[in-house]
Structure 1
């Protein structure tokens, strides 16, 4: 598990509208990379191109390359469903399947990928995934209860367990803590730090302190104005972005002068 991402000259479109322009970025395996920037700058749109979720939107398309350990995820004949199992996504709001138990939520992705397994193998996958999401001890005695009955922070970790169960190489997180209270946010941040030991993790966040706490490198995206494409302005080790940025716009953003 855990693979390198190399993005080359990527342009992201919604129909004829260029939403994100000419992104070039290298993301190392077993690391946490944060995407920051003002609302509407394209960071979440770009994040979704990394597992081909962007193209689910009618008329959406990309130009350029997204390489996962050298394989172009947009190459001819590449199955987007396989891509999404390799590159998992955790969304802004916890979205456990409301009619499913905690156990069935964890297994949902694996079953969707037609993985047949014995009851014992399924039980082992549920436990290992929930342990990987730091949730096992909290839910091990109520695996048959609905996932929607958990707290917000627990639901988000359940969604992370569901993602882990598919055994991806990369985990994408789109503002995973924005709907959580401070204690739940801390639990998810601690989990992110543990996940990078096995996975490549990419997180979009509006929380500057969170980016500084959890990431190794930070990418700052910006937009020149309404109707203009978002652009990657600066990408560097997180301490450099926050303490010694090279671009004035980066400095203004991380210091709170705009955004």
Structure 2
């Protein structure tokens, strides 16, 4: 089910401003790729181009290629909504729909895609998705209660359950633990390790220890200064990036000399 993504010569704009320049990378299936770098260097902007969320912003656009299993996701005949169905996203802050129950939150994406589903199939999908997010045992007796009543870490796992319920092939995570306590963060990291058996995962994180713990490959983004575009400086196996990076800027960032 997981897919490979090949990005080549990607330039990302907000109006006439070039925000991210000349990104090329390969994201392998069933791996976790972490994106690190200082604030404002384009990591989250780049992440949003992988499921065409970037172009939801007025005036925003991307030029270049993002190819998933041979299909250019920016091709003229490709439906952006279909792309987002295959490439799910989990945001920085947990965002369960406050008026919906836990079960309704899980099914929200499926129903948004106008998929008809029987009551029995819906119940099975809720259980399957919550099991996949390691949340089922904690909430199975209160599925009809509001998702907003869960703890922060549980809410984030509920959002992951909602994302995987539509059966995507790729999961994007934009700093999914930045608003969570250490115990909830550990639960999400353990979950990421399990999910990569079935999904291709790309995670933006400011926590370099987290990148070292959860990822197979790490990409370092940097920016030359205010008004300059962010760039991918290097990407390699995580062990290589953290032990013997090829670029001095990467070494400086990881060692804390800047950023």
Give the structure-2-normalised TM-score.
1.00
Q: How far has the Cα of 1:117 moved from its partner? A: 1.0
- What pairs up with 1:1-259 in 2 under 5 angstroms? 1-259=1-259
Give 5+ residue unaligned stretches, structure 1.
none
Superimposed CA distance per residue, residues 136-178 of structure 1 (whole angstroms, 9 cap, x where no aligned partner) = 0000000000000000000000000000000000000000000
What displacement does 1:257 show?
Answer: 1.0
- SS in structure 2 at match of 1:142: coil
Aligned residue for 1:89, secondary structure, equals strand
Q: Helix, strand or coil for the counterpart of 2:62? A: strand
Query: Residues of 2 paired with 1:227 and 1:115: CA distance?
Result: 44
**Deviation string for 1:198-256 (max 9, x for gaps)?**
00000000000000000000000000000000000010000000000010000010111
* Alpha-carbon distance, 1:98 to partner: 0.2
**Normalized against structure 1, the TM-score is what?**
1.00
Unaligned runs of 5+ in 2: none
- Report the CA distance between 1:94 and its aligned residue: 0.1
Q: How many residues in Structure 1 have an aligned counterpart in Structure 2?
A: 259
CA-to-aligned-CA distance 1:69-108 (integer Å, 9 cap, x gap): 1100000121101100100000000000000000000000
Structure-1 separation of matches of 2:222 and 2:60: 21
Deviation at 1:191, TM superposition (A): 0.2
Q: Secondary structure at the match of 1:114?
A: coil
